[in-house]
Every structure is written in C-alpha cells, then in structure tokens.
A and B are shown apart, each in its own frame.
Chain A
C-alpha cells in the first residue's frame, strides 16, 4: 500500500488516535514515516494504513437500499471515524440521491447536488430514517414508507446472492485469501450477509430452496 501524503487526516480518524499522538506526528512527512525503522513511527504508519484500509473497504462493501425516489440508505458500523468520508464518496457517486449510512448509534447523510456536497451527522440510522420520513411528509412529498420500497433492497440482495454464487469456481476455493481480503470485522462493519455465508452455500442450494 503506498503511503498517502495526507496521513495526518487518516491518523486523526483512527479510533485510538490521541491529541498527543497527533502532536508527535505533526512535524513528520509521509517519507519519514515510510522509510523509518523507529517502532513509534511504525505504529503511526500502521494506524494511518488501518484507516485507509477501512475507508477503501467500506467504499466497496457498503450496500444501499432505495428509500423513496431520491434517497438510499445502508448499514455501516466502522471501527474508525470514517463514516462521513464514506458517505460523501457514495453521494458523489450518485448525484441527486441522498445517501444515509448508519448503525444503531450514529448516522451520516450526504447529497451531491452536482456542484457541492451537503452533509449532516445524526443519531441512530433508524432515527435518521424516521426523521427523513416525517420531514418529507411535512414538506408535501408524501409518505415514503407507503411505497414499500424497502423490499426492493432485499430483491437486489437476492439477485446479488445468485450472481455471487455463480461467480465462484469451486476448484479455486481459497479460504485463506478470502479471509485476508474480506476479514470478518469488515464483513460485520458493512453488514454483508451474502459474503458471510461464502463457500457454505452453492447455486444448487439456492435453486433447490426456491423450488
């Protein structure tokens, strides 16, 4: 992994980062950290890498379900303070769609208007979704709950489950590499259901079950 020049940003997002550590790292350059054999600097480097890794994984692993015409929401419970960064990334990927990510204790919302990104942070995901529903109702956009759109999320999940199973080559099964690339904590942070069962179910199981 190449070391980012912006390592202070990543370091500050680490769950274990303290003011003291940030102060220590302030005068350093990315090159100092990358080349150093000093255990204290290696610790700082590994912390920044940890955050970079989690951001990368969450950007790819978080799944979104539609809610109304212009909002999508998803579960995410990251270890580090990266919620807003991931949310803004997903908003930028879908201009005009409000993206809400969260878990039972916190949530993040972002919207890319085509020119700028507007963002907000709130309490639990459930609470944010309820707030959103009532705000839309009050402003005359109707009750999004009545659209039954949340079911659509599970439909896509079902499609994904079939697609995911059909891409697996049994003769190449490699649980060690899989565990390295999709570690259990990342699966839990993104709430991935299909991949958690990876290698246990096969396409046959799926079609036999649906008969």
Chain B
C-alpha cells in the first residue's frame, strides 16, 4: 500500500491519460471539454438511434482479452454490456418489418451522428464504467458504402486517437465492399451480418431490396475467408427474425446449422417477430417469445452439447415447429432406448438426459470412480432431478412414471 497523495501525484504526472492515450494526442479532449459536449448532445438523437438497436441481440463481450461483464440489465432481464446504437436511422432499403425502412408510414425523424461525436460518447460511457464497449450498427442511408466508411471512421477514432481498449462489435451492412469488411475486421473484436431470413425466398418476402446470396451470404464468406489472416477475437455472428415470413423452426434451424458449418459463425441470435406500427407487416401476428427461447435451446444443444442435427430434428412436429416444452425431453424420448444406469452410462448418453448438462455429466463420471452415486449427489451437482429421474436408474431403482401406469 502507498499513500493516496503519492498515487495522485503519479496519476497527474503520468504520460498517459485516462485511457492510456498519450496526453498530447488527447489534449483537446480533456474531461471537462468532453463533459460540455455531452451536455449539448442531443438526447432525442441518442434515444432514437439507441432504440433502433433494441431488437439487436448481442452477448456480453467475451474474448480472450475481455471477460464477459454485464454492466446492467433492462427490466426485461436482458444484459446491457455494450453501448448499442445505430450510426444513422435513415435507410433506403424496403424491409417490410422495419420502422426505419423507406416504405414505413410512421418513419421516425432521421438522425445521424458524426464519427467524432459517437466516438466521444462511447468513450465517456466506457470510462464511467457504464458499458464494456460499443455495438455499432446502422441503417444503410442512401449508400451503404458511405455509411460503412463512417462506421469504420468511428472505430478508427476510438482505436487510434483515443487508444480505446474496450470491446467493439461492428455490424457489416448488407452489400458492403470487401475492402470495408477487411478494415472493419482489423479494428473490431466481432463483426456480424444479419441474415434476418432463413432462405432467399423468405428474404424476398421480408426485404425485397436485399439480395440474399450476394448482399448477405457473400459478405459472410468474405468474413470467413478474411478471418484466416486477420485476427478477429470474437469471430462473426448473425441474427434472424423468427416468424417474420411464416417460416418453420426447422427451416431456421437448418439455416443456422449451415451457418455454423459453412460460414463458421460463432453464434446465431434470434429475435421473435414483433409487428411495428406503420410497417407493411403491421397486421401480422406477433410471435410468442417462447418460440425464440426454444430456438435458443436447440441452438445450445447443437453448439454446446454437440447433438447431431438429425437427433435435434426429433424435437420438431410434423410442420417443423417446436413445442413450447423443453426440446431435450423430446430428443431424449426419441434417442434413448430406455432409462440409463447412472453408475455405468457413458458421457454421450448422460448428456442426453434432461436436467444433466456437460458439466454435471463430467462430474458424474469423476465422482463415480470413488463411490456409487445417489440422488443426493445429483442434487448437489445441480442436476434437475425432477427432469432427470424418469430417464435414470439410480442404484437399481427407477422412479415411477405415467408410462409405467399406462403399460
């Protein structure tokens, strides 16, 4: 421990400013000046452009350099770890579900930041520990290349002028040039292109002005190929609108499997369709949130549990939709021949049991080397017994199930 006085003098005598930038370069942006600028910042613009990203989903930042931190949660329970904003909400695309689209009757007033303003605003929120970084998306404006350039300029200012070490997730606009993608990747931790729809025909219905294979899939291929030579710590991700064009869950799942295998995306995010007033899709039915939740569950089973797609497909009904129940139960019923003996089953079978995940399966394997496992042990490991016990034989005993009575 040293005295506060000594530390304070060291801080003021330091050649670094609060973000590690050389004082010379940042001299015109002293805290007080930044503060004054924030005072005059247009709060309506902040709200309008922030609101434009509220349906965009991103996980808390997690890369090798920055562990995931949630700085807040909205009243809907979603984590806020990044300053999510649009660069502009002016758009020339005709997406039938989007309030910023050119065909929308209730289009909000058009706003836009300048790169310098947005860089400073992000920096202020980061410095005050409100966020861990920036999630920058945008509407396409009149020309997506111009907007993409501006977005890259924001990131260049942050990384260069302000020596920003936080996390940056940059959206790649559909149709962005390969050169811009390369620049964006060199500066960001994560980039993403939103798929929105599960196929070209679904995209045609939702957003007729976008070319699915050229504007979206081709950009994802660029990112995949470029990431072999450019370090992109958190990889690329994508997002889909669930139920925007009557597509089934199976269609979405098959597209996402393609994305994981062919495009090497790290994660797919889902957003249940919500009809917005003034858009051509305003009369369409709102999709239940549980649909989004069930898709996340099968996504998890595929990505983390490494279930085979053909096994996961057992959770779909004849129309290709998921039921509003844990899909793992349907998969377990379809893939397990009978209840498993807890003290002899292998890892691959154990993780098929509802209530047992990879972590608890590994713990079971470890613990049973030293003793026979009982229900109490399972409970201590965090296994959800109510879900798991119908699929298990524990010390030669099996819990009664309704199936037994009907047999």
Q: Chain A residues in contact with chain B, CB under 8 A?
A: 2, 31, 34-37, 42, 56, 59-66, 68-72, 74, 90, 93-98, 100, 109-111, 113-114, 118-122, 128, 131-132, 135-136, 139, 141, 147-149, 151-153, 155-156, 158-160, 162-169, 171-178, 180-182, 192, 195, 198-199, 203, 207, 210
Assess whether B4 is in contact with A152, with CB atoms less than 8 Å apart. Answer: no
Number of A-B contacts (CB under 8 A): 238
Q: Is B46 an interface residue (CB 8 A)?
A: yes
Whole-angstrom CA separation of A62 from B71 in the bound complex: 8
Whole-angstrom CA separation of A194 from B307 in the bound complex: 42
Q: Which of B31-59 contact A (CB under 8 A)?
A: 31-32, 34-35, 38-39, 41, 43-44, 46-48, 50-51, 53-55
* Cβ-closest chain A residue relative to B124: A156
* A95, A119, A163: the one within 8 Å of B2 (CB): A119
Q: Chain B residues in contact with chain A, CB under 8 A?
A: 1-12, 14-20, 30-32, 34-35, 38-39, 41, 43-44, 46-48, 50-51, 53-55, 69-81, 83-84, 121, 124-125, 127-130, 132, 165, 274, 286, 289, 359, 363, 366-367, 376-377, 379-381
Contacts of B77 in A (CB 8 A): 172, 174, 176-178, 180-181
- Give 26 CB contacts A-B under 8 Å: A34-B381, A35-B367, A35-B377, A36-B380, A37-B376, A37-B377, A60-B129, A63-B128, A63-B130, A95-B19, A96-B11, A96-B14, A100-B4, A118-B6, A118-B10, A121-B1, A128-B4, A135-B4, A135-B8, A139-B9, A152-B35, A159-B124, A167-B78, A181-B77, A207-B43, A207-B47
Assess whether A174 is in contact with B9, with CB atoms less than 8 Å apart. Answer: no
Whole-angstrom CA separation of A172 from B271 in the bound complex: 11
- Closest CB of chain B to A87's CB: distance in Å? 11
Contacts of A199 in B (CB 8 A): 75
Assess whether A166 is in contact with B50, with CB atoms less than 8 Å apart. Answer: yes
* Cβ-closest chain A residue relative to B60: A60
Contacts of B47 in A (CB 8 A): 162-163, 165-166, 203, 207
* A42, A70, A175: the one within 8 Å of B11 (CB): A70
Assess whether A60 is in contact with B20, with CB atoms less than 8 Å apart. Answer: no
Contacts of A69 in B (CB 8 A): 12, 17-18, 30-31
Contacts of B81 in A (CB 8 A): 60
- Closest CB of chain A to B148's CB: distance in Å? 24
Whole-angstrom CA separation of A110 from B19 in the bound complex: 15
* Cβ-closest chain B residue relative to A210: B43
